[in-house]
Amino acid sequence: MSSELKGKVALVTGASRGLGEGAARALAHAGAKVMLVARDGALAGRVARDIAGKGGQAEAMACDVSDYAAVHKLVAETRARLGGLDILVNNAGVIEPIAEIATSDPKAWADNITINLIGAYHVIRAVLPEMLAKGGGTIVNVSSGAAYRPLEGWSAYCSGKAGLAMLTRAIELETKGRGIRVFGFSPGTIDTEMQVKIRASGMNMISKIPRGDLSPVEHAVRGLVHLCTAAADDLVGQDASMRDEPFRQRIGLG
């Protein structure tokens, strides 16, 4: 793994399990100092302690990304504890509510957007001024194929991820030439707790995918860490996808 991540400070949201946990572990293994975040701070803390026990540098905090004041505090705390902020992995996300629009709960629908889109914006809003001031920083917004195609029962999730894909492009437009490396990243259909909820719903074709056919988290982690290195500079501003054969080839999975 590239040594260029050594000493960099990375903030990973949704790092208590799944893709975020995998990304935090891999970034720490590559020498980055990592802040792990989830609403369940105890769970994030357990992962951080395990990373530290294996020689990595990791801290954890409880934070709900839908609360801007809490996010602002989290970013200040990350800088204070780890000495800066170079990489944001904007990964926290929820799938629910899984429901058809006509019968969906308006509050649950709004909560999804508040986490998946507004929450992601909150973290970007909190980290971007300093990244711009120092002329450098990487932001990876974890996207989804659902940003580009509707799936029955997932109207909130698809709409939020579509909004996030546009936010990635808006950041690229506004920060061009100022050292900000921003990406969207679609991890493919990966074996996490989110997929447990999807299978249980029985809604749409994704819920029918047998667990054994899901991709391992480690593959997506490899793609995500690649975006954090200079080797991915040519992809800045784009949504990289684990379903894209040329992208898989460049990370050794082709």
Of 9, 24, 38, 151, the residue at the interface with ligand NAP (CB under 6 A) is: 38
Question: What span, in angstroms and rounded, lies between the C-alpha atoms of 238 and 226?
Answer: 14
Q: How far apart are CA 237 and CA 92, in angstroms?
A: 20
Residue pair 119/219 in contact (Cβ under 8 Å)? The answer is no
Is 157 one of the catalytic residues? yes
Question: Shortest distance, CB of residue 100 to ligand NAP, whole angstroms?
Answer: 20
* Cα angle: 201, vertex 208, 250; to 5 degrees: 115
Which residue type is seen at 37?
Answer: V
Gap between the Cα atoms of 159 and 74, Å rounded? 27
Of 130 and 193, which has the nearer Cβ to ligand NAP?
193
Q: Closer to ligand NAP at the Cβ: 7 or 245?
A: 245
Q: Does 78 bind ligand NAP (CB under 6 A)?
A: no
Q: Binding to ligand NAP by residue 64, rule CB under 6 A?
A: yes
Binding pattern to ligand NAP, positions 109-138, x when CB under 6 A? ------x---x-------------------
Of 92, 88, 91, 109, residue with least CA distance to 100: 109
Q: Does 28 bind ligand NAP (CB under 6 A)?
A: no
The token pair at 40 is: 């369940």
Choices 1-9, 26-34, 64-72, 130-138; region in contact with ligand NAP by CB under 6 A: 64-72
Least Å from the CB of residue 159 to ligand NAP: 13
Catalytic residue annotation: 157
